Amino acid sequence: MFREAEDWQPTSSDPNDEQFGDVVAPTTIEDADAYDAVLVGEPYDGAVIGRQGAEEGPKAVKEALAGVKTHHFEHGPVDSVADLGDVVVVDDDVAAAQASVREAAAEVHATDALPVFVGGDNSLSYANAAPLLDAGTLGVVSFDAHLDCREPVDGPSSGTPYRQLFDAGLDALSVVGARHFETSTAYADFLREQGGAVVTAEEAGADPEAALGDALAPMTGVDYLYVSVDIDVLDAAYPGSSAPTPGGLQPRELFRLVRSLARDERVAGFEVVETAPPLDTEHRTVDAAARTIAHFLAGAR
Mean pLDDT for the stretch of residues 161-178: 98
- What phi and psi values does residue 278 have, to the nearest 5 degrees? -65, -20
pLDDT score of 124:
98
Share of the chain above pLDDT 70, in %: 100
Buried b (16+ CB within 10 A) or exposed e, 155-181: ebbbbbbbbbbbeeebbbbbbbbbbee
Mean pLDDT for the stretch of residues 198-223: 97
The yes-or-no verdict on residue 151 having pLDDT over 90 is yes
pLDDT digits (tens, 9 = 90+) for 229-254: 999 999 999 999 999 999 999 999 99
Task: Name the architecture of domain 2-136+222-299.
Answer: 3-Layer(aba) Sandwich (3.40)
Parse the chain into domains and list their residue ranges: 2-136+222-299
Rounded distance between C-alpha atoms, residue 84 and residue 99, angstroms? 19
HEC letters along 187-249: HHHHHHHCCCEEEEHHHHHHCHHHHHHHHHHHHCCCCEEEEEEEHHHECCCCCCCCCCCCCCE
Cis ω before 221 (30° cut-off from 0): no
DSSP secondary structure of 245-266: -SS-B-HHHHHHHHHHHHTSTT
The yes-or-no verdict on residue 79 having pLDDT over 90 is yes
Rounded distance between C-alpha atoms, residue 161 and residue 120, angstroms? 13
pLDDT score of 34:
98
Taking Cα atoms as reference points, which of 19, 64, 9, 52 lies closest to residue 282? 64
Taking Cα atoms as reference points, which of 226, 43, 28 lies closest to residue 111? 28
Contact 80, 66 (CB under 8 A): no
pLDDT score of 221:
93
pLDDT digits (tens, 9 = 90+) for 279-290: 999 999 999 999
Distance of CA 230 to the CA centre of its chain: 6
The yes-or-no verdict on residue 21 having pLDDT over 90 is yes
Say what the pTM is. 0.98
Contact 240, 281 (CB under 8 A): yes
